Structure 1
């Protein structure tokens, strides 16, 4: 059964169709009186932008309401045709469709992640700068090794997160029988977890892809060769607070690793936000779940770093350490 994207209450219908697929009316939630799911009438670009912006309602729409909740005018349909637990056929079809979506979306995002890492490592490696503009056998081998490393690392991270989610849900007290059960808890399946992680990774991959196209390092090095920049403020040299000045120095181009910050800090926050939506629990538990997934991912990244570095050219150990430093928190 679909849920309301505003209050997460179960609702039998999201919209009513009148004689045509393009002539429909949004239904109101019986609990909060808002539209049950406004994203029904939004296009794919709007959904993608709201996913990148980490909107809570779009997660609920994609995870619980996608393809459900339609009611045709003049059709007397029982509540079971919306996919309630008493109707197993739609539930089985929904589960298989969700796993197929996880496979397709996961493969596409892993390929994008591998390309971003290959571009970053090749541009940073002394002997591989020419491989960015030329595809040869060495470049293809390096990309395939990075792709395999990303696949193992992603699988390990998802396995650690799913296991941690299972333990957390077992430890959390079950809701009282007298209290109404949340629609999220009622419709939750463990297949929602990897799908949520893939949706959450769109934010970091979008920013990492932008950084792989436009690298501030090149502009900074060009400006550094031209000469030192004047201070932004005339009184910068006489800044009284040395501690604040050192903290601001951490944001300098030579110190700050933008890719690492986006991948680990922003990526971890986005994954925690997605799990907060799908698990409907306290942020402390989602933080513990993300840390557990990071531990498993770090162990696997250490195991495959040497093998991945063998296909990157130059010093295999240095290339493996570069991939490892880019992969783990």
Structure 2
């Protein structure tokens, strides 16, 4: 069931469709706001609100936008995860560029392996910590959605493209991006678990 992005309460529907290009957004009975205004927003607005760490946009993506899956993750999220790994690989590989007498291809695949293992360990660790802290509070925790939330909230790794455009040697942009990724992860898990930031951290 979809939820209101403002208050997080379940709603019967998000909009009423009168024709192909004519819809009316539903109003949440609990808070009297539109249940999900992001239905009418384009991807630029959604991206900006993700950067601003708005809870509403994470509720929209996690509970209303994505098709519900009982296990596993959606194909689109898998593609995003692969893209994020490749960005990580590129940045690490870029730092080895100045090392002389290096076998570029073998090091690339080695870094790819390391980044993949890092991602698996990170997600497994977060799942374990959530189980440790919240398994008594929640009868059922959809751990696949923990992974989905972490992948979506790691979107800011795509900003690594800035390190290609500008001279990455002058400023280590990766530190700023890593901080942004961390705070986005905290926001997404906080929204998913409906917990405060301190409990999430």
TM-score scaled by length of structure 2: 0.86
Q: 1:101 Cα deviation (Å)?
A: 3.5
* Bigger Rg, which one: 1
Could you tell me how far apart the structure 2 residues matched to 1:258 and 1:19 are?
Answer: 47
Aligned counterpart, 2:87: 112
Q: Deviations over 1:281-302 (max 9, x none)?
A: 1322211xxxxxxxxxxxxxxx
- Summarize the Cα distance change of 1:268–1:97 in structure 2 as closer, same or farther, 3 Å threshold: closer
2:152 is aligned with 1:195: no
Aligned to 2:112: 147
The structural deviation recorded for 1:261 is 4.8
Residues 98 and 24 (structure 1), Cα distance of their counterparts in 2 relative to 1, 3 Å cut: farther
Q: CA deviation at 1:151?
A: 0.5
In 2, Cα distance between the equivalents of 1:269 and 1:9?
24
Equivalent residue for 2:41? 42
Deviations, residues 238-291 of structure 1 (Å, cap 9, x unaligned): xxxxxxxxxxxxxxx7xxx5423532x33322211211111111322211xxxx
In 2, distance between residues paired with 1:110 and 1:30?
A: 41
Contact 2:84 2:158 survives alignment (8 Å): no
Structure 1 consecutive aligned stretches of length 4 or more whose deviation exceeds 4 Å: none
> Partners of 1:212 and 1:152 in 2: how far apart?
25
- Counterpart of 1:18? 18
Residue in 2 aligned with 1:273? 187
In structure 2, C-alpha distance between the alignment counterparts of 1:274 and 1:98, rounded to whole Å: 16
SS at match of 1:127: coil
Which residue of the partner structure matches residue 122 of structure 1? 96
Shift of 1:31: 0.6
1:172-209 deviation digits (Å, cap 9, x = unpaired)? 4x6xxxxxxxxxx99x6222111111121122x14433
- Do the aligned residues in 2 keep the contact of 1:14 with 1:27 (CA within 8 Å)? yes
Would you say 1:65 and 2:77 are equivalent positions? no
Distance 2:176 2:5 in 1: 31
> Does the aligned pair in 1 maintain the 2:77–2:152 contact within 8 Å?
no
Structure ranking higher on relative contact order (CA contacts 8 Å, 6+ apart)? 1
Does 2:170 match 1:259?
no
- Distance across 2 between alignment mates of 1:164 and 1:9: 26
Alignment of 1:67-216 (within 5 A): 94-95=69-70, 98-119=73-94, 121-123=95-97, 125-127=98-100, 138-172=103-137, 189-203=142-156, 205-215=157-167
Task: Report the number of matched residues.
Answer: 201
Structure 2: segments with no counterpart, 5+ residues: none
Residue 311 of structure 1: aligned partner: none
What is the TM-score when the length of structure 1 is the normalising length? 0.55
